């Protein structure tokens, strides 16, 4: 089974701090997606990374796909309370199925 391991599971930091969360696997992926899920809502796609070493920025969020395409990281600069949520990495397992990681639950304290 090609699992996606996310770390840390939980992270609580002060507003204004920086943070990095990780998504790792022993398998090579053709692409990897990051989603954010807020309480009572479905996952919302943030970004898809496709090329090894690729870096994508979404305002204060920076996503990186590892050179070997086995891992990815999400870095948030100057975290804000609005960044609070469950961050999920995910990959396509087949043409139709997405496999999700277990998620990092992020809490930003004002």
Partner 1 sequence: EPEVTQTPSHQVTQMGQEVILRCVPISNHLYFYWYRQILGQKVEFLVSFYNNEISEKSEIFDDQFSVERPDGSNFTLKIRSTKLEDSAMYFCASSYFIDSNQPQHFGDGTRLSIL
Site residues (vs partner 1, CB under 8 A): 30-31, 33, 37, 40-45, 48, 50, 88, 91-103
User: Kind of pairing, strands 10-14 and 104-109?
Assistant: parallel
The CB-of-72 to partner 1 minimum distance in angstroms stands at 14
The CB-of-95 to partner 1 minimum distance in angstroms stands at 5
| Whole-number Å distance between alpha carbons of 62 and 101 | 19
Q: Which is nearer to partner 1, 14 or 26 (CB)?
A: 26
CA atoms in the 13 A half-sphere facing the CB of 40 = 0
The CB-of-80 to partner 1 minimum distance in angstroms stands at 23
CA atoms in the 13 A half-sphere facing the CB of 38 = 6
Q: Which is nearer to partner 1, 13 or 92 (CB)?
A: 92
Q: How far apart are the first and last CA of the chain?
A: 40
Q: Which is nearer to partner 1, 6 or 79 (CB)?
A: 6
């Amino acid at each position: 089974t090609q699992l996606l391991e996310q770390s840390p599971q939980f992270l609580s930091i002060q507003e204004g701090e920086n943070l990095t969360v990780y998504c790792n696997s022993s398998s090579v992926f053709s692409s990897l997606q990051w989603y954010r899920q807020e309480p009572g809502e479905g996952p919302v796609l943030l970004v898809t990374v496709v090329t090894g070493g690729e870096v994508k920025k979404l305002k204060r969020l920076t996503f990186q796909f590892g050179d070997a395409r086995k891992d990815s990281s999400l870095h948030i600069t100057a975290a804000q309370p609005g960044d609070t949520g469950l961050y999920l990495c995910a990959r396509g397992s087949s043409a139709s199925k997405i496999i999700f990681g277990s998620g990092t639950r992020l809490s930003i304290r004002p």
